[in-house]
Structure 1
Amino acid sequence: MSYKTILVHVDESASAGERIKIAAAVAMTEQAHLIGTATTGASRYLVQARMLAELDPNLRTHLDFLRHRARQGLEDFESSVQKLGLSSYEKRLVDDEAGGGICLQSRYADLVVIGQNDPEERSPVVMPDFAQFVVLNSARPVLVVPHTGRFDNIGTRVLIAWDAGMEAARAVASALPLLRRAQHVEVVSFDARSQSMSPGRDLAQYLARHGIHAEVLQRQPEGAVGEALIGLADTRGSDLLLMGAYGHMRFRELMLGAVTRAVLEATRVPVLMSA
């Protein structure tokens, strides 16, 4: 397995440049095609039905403004990837709200790269629950890049949060291209049950058959697992966190597992999730 198509969400946020840089670096390493996708924030159903253009001329003017804003982000994307030397890329403007648009486009990619919500930078296009929505509804693994910090290397030291669940298993399988290139891989299980049970060792054996050596850690968190996981990633010098995402949707309301929510809100290193 390898990544042949990577999708990165493009907008005008302050953290977009770092996100694009990471996506381009992975694309160059994997010799993959990179698609920079910007969304206007207008519902695709209204646009397709021509309702925005026909109901009110003011709405048409507003849609033109939203498209202009999205194109500006795509121009920045193109400038960035050209400077980085990426040859295979394209720009894509989508008339849709950000969550739904990226999830729809993800069906034609192997990996999706998005940004963590920045509570200090509000957007008229990207909803605060954007990252959670995409993680739970994307057809592909999602790499979430923190809204602060520089990440010159990702995937050199990988920390896998492992509970032997289906979501975690999908996350590991989807990350095999990155894990094969990692210099150091650690598997951690936060399990208050018997120490004789060690699903981490089973995962290490699975990874070894893929040529990936992994060290197994066992931890008993004193507090919340999410906080313990973020703290461990800092302590171990991890530059990529890999884990399953747990939750479900009820209309637009997000019902996330406590660990998933804590990591998405507070992670300080890029995290690859799969639901």
Structure 2
Amino acid sequence: MGYKTILVHLDEAPHAGARVLMAAELALQHGAHVIGVALTGVSRFLYQNEMVDEEDPNLALHLDMLRERARTALAAFAPQMRALGVHSFEERIMDDEPGAGLALAARHADLAIVGQALPEQRTSGPGSFPAEVLTESGCPVLVVPHTARPRGSISVSTAGIASPGAPAPGRHVLLAWNASKESARAAREALPLLARAEQVTLAIIDADLHPAAFGDTPGSQALAWLARHGITATVALAQSPRQGLLKRPGDVGETLLMLAGERGCDLVVLGAYGHSRFRETLLGGVTRTVLETMTVPVLMAH
């Protein structure tokens, strides 16, 4: 089992090159087809509702400018793919908003790679598109931190060539586990990466608060399930900071990221909570915290 179709979002962000290299290396490992997508930012619903008159010279000029920006974002994609040894790929320009367009395209992919929103973009608008892709696509999403560097985020030789034998981020994976259906979905979607990892840590936060879910030995059933897939993992139990007189649990997202840092993990796998933005329901607090403060790639499934 592996990722056979990988979608990667291309834009003019400084860390876009890290996404391309990650997509290339995963493609080499899994024999995958890579689809590079750039979006104009013009919602497809405007066209469907005939709200756009492309005969308007001012509007046509604006659309041409937006499409030229998308073409610029795509310009280096094909040369990079060829240089890295990836021969099965295609590029697309979509007239749509980033979140809606990528979510639509990702419904025909095994994995979508997007960039973490920059701090100034974290709003309910276009900057929140990683969360929208996650909730609307039905596809696991690998989010690359905006601090990633094109050469530092994956295994690339001095000649700029990604090796199909070397693991992408995922040498040491932190698998967040709370025995929920969301964490189970994320673990299943991450199996191709977990199988290649040198080390897998099953992170369980605040197990004492959920005795019915974990039983006497937290994580034992998950370890047995992973072992049947040939994956050896170890359990790391941690407790979030307890707050107030009632000692309520603190920020689980921060605790997960701290644990990942302490253990030297280079990938976090997380089941995401939340619903469609059209229901105006925000993603769960753990998901928001991780998306905003992550410094390593995070694979999320919803």
Q: TM-score, normalised by structure 2?
A: 0.85
Which position in structure 2 is the counterpart of 1:232?
A: 259
Distance in 2 between the 1:159 and 1:2 partners? 19
| Aligned counterpart in structure 1 of residue 227 of structure 2, from 190, 208, 219 | 208
Instruction: Give SS of 1:212's match.
Output: coil
2:181 equivalent to 1:169: no
User: 1:149-179 deviations in whole A, cap 9, x for unaligned?
Assistant: 3312401110000001111111111111111
User: 1:77-123 deviations in whole A, cap 9, x for unaligned?
Assistant: 22222221211111011111110000000111000000000125x59
**Kept after mapping to 2: 8 A contact 1:142/1:272:** yes
Distance in 1 between the 2:116 and 2:281 partners? 16
Instruction: Give SS of 2:203's match.
Output: strand
2:13 equivalent to 1:13: yes
**Kept after mapping to 1: 8 A contact 2:170/2:196:** yes
**Kept after mapping to 2: 8 A contact 1:17/1:80:** no
Displacement after TM superposition at 1:49 (Å) = 5.3
Distance in 2 between the 1:147 and 1:266 partners? 10
Displacement after TM superposition at 1:201 (Å) = 1.4
Which position in structure 2 is the counterpart of 1:271?
A: 298
Instruction: Give SS of 2:77's match.
Output: helix
Which position in structure 2 is the counterpart of 1:187?
A: 202
Displacement after TM superposition at 1:136 (Å) = 1.5
- Structure 2 gaps of 5+ residues are 155-167, 242-249
**Kept after mapping to 1: 8 A contact 2:142/2:299:** yes
2:95 equivalent to 1:95: yes
State the number of aligned residues. Answer: 272
Displacement after TM superposition at 1:56 (Å) = 2.8
Aligned alpha-carbon RMSD (Å) = 1.9
- Structure 1 gaps of 5+ residues are none
Which position in structure 2 is the counterpart of 1:147?
A: 146
Distance in 2 between the 1:253 and 1:76 partners? 37
2:100 equivalent to 1:107: no
Which position in structure 1 is the counterpart of 2:275?
A: 248
Query: Which deviates more from structure 2 when the two are superposed, residues 250-259 or residues 76-85?
Result: 250-259
Displacement after TM superposition at 1:249 (Å) = 2.7
Distance in 2 between the 1:105 and 1:186 partners? 32
**Kept after mapping to 2: 8 A contact 1:133/1:254:** no
Displacement after TM superposition at 1:242 (Å) = 0.3
User: For the structure 1 residues 250 and 32, does the alpha-carbon distance in structure 2 shift closer, same or farther, using more than 3 Å as the test?
Assistant: closer
User: 1:49-86 deviations in whole A, cap 9, x for unaligned?
Assistant: 55423463211111111111101111122222222121
Distance in 1 between the 2:217 and 2:187 partners? 17
Q: Give the aligned residue type for 2:147.
A: T
Residue identity (%) = 50
User: 1:174-215 deviations in whole A, cap 9, x for unaligned?
Assistant: 111111111100101112335854442111100000000001
Which position in structure 1 is the counterpart of 2:74?
A: 74
| Aligned counterpart in structure 1 of residue 175 of structure 2, from 153, 160, 169 | 160
Q: TM-score, normalised by structure 1?
A: 0.93
Instruction: Give SS of 2:62's match.
Output: helix
